[in-house]
Amino acid sequence: MTSARKTLGIVGARGHTGAELIRLVAAHPALELAFVSSRELDGQRVADHVDGYAGELRYASLDADAVAAQGADVVVLALPNGKAAPYVEAIDQARPDTLIVDLSADYRFDSNWYYGLPELTRGKWRGEKKISNPGCYATAIQLALAPLKDMLAAPPVCFGVSGYSGAGTTPSDKNNPDKLRDNLMPYSLTGHTHEKEASRHLGVPVEFLPHVAPHFRGLTVTSNLYLARRMSREEVMQRFHHAYDAEPLVQVVDDAPWVSAVAGRHHVDIGGFAVSADGKRVVVVTTLDNLLKGAATQALQNINRAIGMDELTAIPH
């Protein structure tokens, strides 16, 4: 270990996203996993739960003050919504220069926090030590709509389908494989947090209809956009190529992408671009892995930039 390595701790490490982040950090040349906090796995070896991690580190049950006392350079909060504040307060008091990345929705509406969707907000980062990581669906929605948002004639309608890993590890109907078998489960059909989040950060109202499917990981968002003027398919695609061809983690494809092709991968696929006969409506399909570009990969993009590394360090692409 060189002294140049930064220490990183994860709070809420039992969840699916925590495990993905542990794998990414294990392969990172400049980060060292200092602690992983989980009540349920307290005392167990991380390596017994996360393939790709080889060290002797064990999970520990750490409250907010104990997390702050670890003195890590970077703390990632991978907690359910509504749980982050005590940790943020304790870290602020103990070591205010700690980089905090929150994966929940708790600070996505707080203008004191940098909202880290690099492909869209990279230019807005002003060195903030508090980074709010976007939601998985909100990432897909914003990337799908941003290139055309100045052309919208009505609020876009985004139909979302996610694998059940998006429902977390706490048992519920939405992550019960028996109830999901041969099923599609609609939920939060108005006012979903990611609907509000995408609307706020795009600056246009978005309508979002989420569903859970029987697959484990990956999500699809099919967005229906009414346009203020007629556009050809070529013109639409040109806008997406212009927006994303320089982005290694966004792939603009011709056909509507399949979620099976992006599961386990770190990028976003955007395609379809079906234009109606009158040229006033376009349908765009976006897929990403909700645990990776929808969470852990995006968190690492943000961490890399904040510690002065190339944004894609340790992200396979």
Catalytic residues, which ones?
136
* Token duo for residue 18: 């925590």
Instruction: Decide: 21 and 39 in contact? Cβ < 8 Å.
Output: no
Residue type, 8: L
Q: Could you give the dihedral angle defined by the CA atoms of residues 251, 256, 262 and 266, in that order, rounded to the nearest 10 degrees? A: 20
The residues, ordered by sequence, that sit 6+ positions from 205 with a Cβ below 8 Å of its Cβ are 155, 199
Pairing of strands 219-226, 157-162: antiparallel
Residue 74: helix, strand or coil by DSSP? strand
Report CA-CA distances (Å) from 310 to 41, 152, 254, 301.
Answer: 33, 35, 29, 8
Residue 285: helix, strand or coil by DSSP? strand
Beta bridge partners of residue 212, listed in sequence order: 162, 185
CA distance 139 to 198: 8
Cα angle 199, 86, 9 (rounded to 5 degrees) comes to 90
Instruction: Decide: 283 and 274 in contact? Cβ < 8 Å.
Output: yes
Instruction: Decide: 126 and 186 in contact? Cβ < 8 Å.
Output: no
CA distance 104 to 82: 8
Instruction: Decide: 270 and 280 in contact? Cβ < 8 Å.
Output: no
- Give the H/E segment covering residue 18: helix 16-26
